[in-house]
Amino acid sequence: MGPLQDIRETWARFLNEDNLTLAFLRRMRRAILAVSVAVLIPCFWHRRIEAGDLASHVYNAWLAQLIEKGQAPGLHFAKQWNNILFDVTLLRLVNVVGFAVAQKIVVSACVLIFFWGIFAFIAAVTERPPWFLTPCIAMLAYGYSFSMGFMNYYLSLGLACFALALLWRARGMDWVGGGIFALLTILAHPIGFLWLVGTLAYIKLRAKLPGWRKLTLPSVAAAVFFAVYWYTAHRPALSADWDRGPFYLYNGADQLVLYGKRYIALAAAAFLLGVICVGADLYGRRHERGCWRPFELPFELYAVTFCATALLPENLHPPMFGGWIGLLSSRLTTISAILGLCVLGHLKPRKWHLAGFGACTAVFYAFLYQDTGWMNRLEANAEKLVSGLAPGTRVIATLDSPAGSRILFIHHSVER
């Protein structure tokens, strides 16, 4: 009875008021519900969710249904253990509630996992809930990675953030919870899992290094990324390219640049506001000893990630897989943005912080509503044009992204 009694006591401690996470959820449940509803508005303001490659995920679910029913001769399921969590969840739900409702439910769940995962991660790093940064997290939730439809990758980052939040100062059952989230992360996408493992190893090693020796970690990380750069640049068989523009623009704020040039001004304003907030905070603490110390670790992680996005190739065509590994650095800046928010999380919250970031979010959502509304009308028109065609008729998509848009996959709408 000894081990069993220990397990019962552990779970009892976990479920009572001494558990800070559950106590926070009970105390702030109304605020959490209100914020969750607000964050989900873009998932429901149009008939369809416009998220680039999402349409391909829906198409794959339709194909999977045909295979399960034996109506797709010559096609079969391939065995795969990663990059599948979103697709498997979507397929199972489609079988129950249909395609339209399943998309809304699964994408909404991904948005909430991403949003609250980042919130929990920042709270773990800064040891306080980052309510004043909720507008920033809300913008990032519908940023480049979401709008391109990288749903498994997007989901993996949210799950990885929950795992990191649990494991940042892990004790006892935290390791079990972190392990469960890590398993789900690798089912979603390997990049999220690699970031989780790499970040966890980094912070644990850093904690053991004294003084200036901590600088060896970012130096080694930069050397590794440079080695990858050199290797891929000197292997023609990989067909690597760095075709993404000036590296310094890929700092995390680029996640807000979506359907046109007007987003560039918004991203620049949001980035500049963040820099001003940090500068003003440090200036206000200039007489405090070690005022920079809380910012050190998150800024160091941000700098390492920035180095990765600058040196890693944008696209690869490795012959061993025969497939395209594309837009790598462009999507990695989601991680840069998350770590940048961890830096901002150490600020002393001011009303003008919330007002400034809230204004940026309002403009971002207004732009997003207009652009996704146009895409909804475009897709509705295409649906009307093909509605009278006989089953099995081949359809070719000829539309392309508008000039200045970074969202390249709008032609996938034909697959839905």
pLDDT digits (tens, 9 = 90+) for 117-167: 999 999 999 999 999 999 999 999 999 999 999 999 999 999 999 999 999
Q: In 10 A of CB 114, how many CB atoms? A: 28
Residues 6 or more apart from 170 whose CB is under 8 A from it? 178
287 — pLDDT class (breaks 50, 70, 90): confident
- DSSP for 209-244 reads S-GGGGGHHHHHHHHHHHHHHHHHHT-GGG--B--S
Residue 415, pLDDT above cutoff 80: no
Q: Which amino acid makes up residue 264?
A: I
Per-domain boundaries in the chain? 1-39, 40-415
Average pLDDT over residues 316-336: 81
Q: Cα Rg for the chain, rounded, in angstroms?
A: 23
Assess contact for 266 and 363: CB atoms under 8 A.
yes
| Cβ-contact 353, 347 below 8 angstroms | yes
Bigger pLDDT: 283 or 337? 337
pLDDT per residue as tens digits for the range 187-205: 999 999 999 999 999 999 9
Q: What is the band of 17 on the pLDDT scale with cuts at 50, 70, 90?
A: very low
Least confident of 13-17, 265-269, 325-329, 358-362: 13-17
Neighbouring residues of 367: CB distance < 8 A, sequence distance ≥ 6: 258, 259, 262, 263, 266
Which one-letter amino acid corresponds to residue 358? Answer: G
- Cα–Cα distance, 253 to 142 (Å, whole number): 13
Q: pTM value?
A: 0.90
Residues 6+ apart with CB under 8 A from 116: 32, 36, 158, 162
The pLDDT tens digits for 213-239 are: 888 999 999 999 999 999 998 888 888
- pLDDT single digits (tens) 270-281: 999 999 999 999
In this predicted structure, what is the pLDDT of residue 249? 87
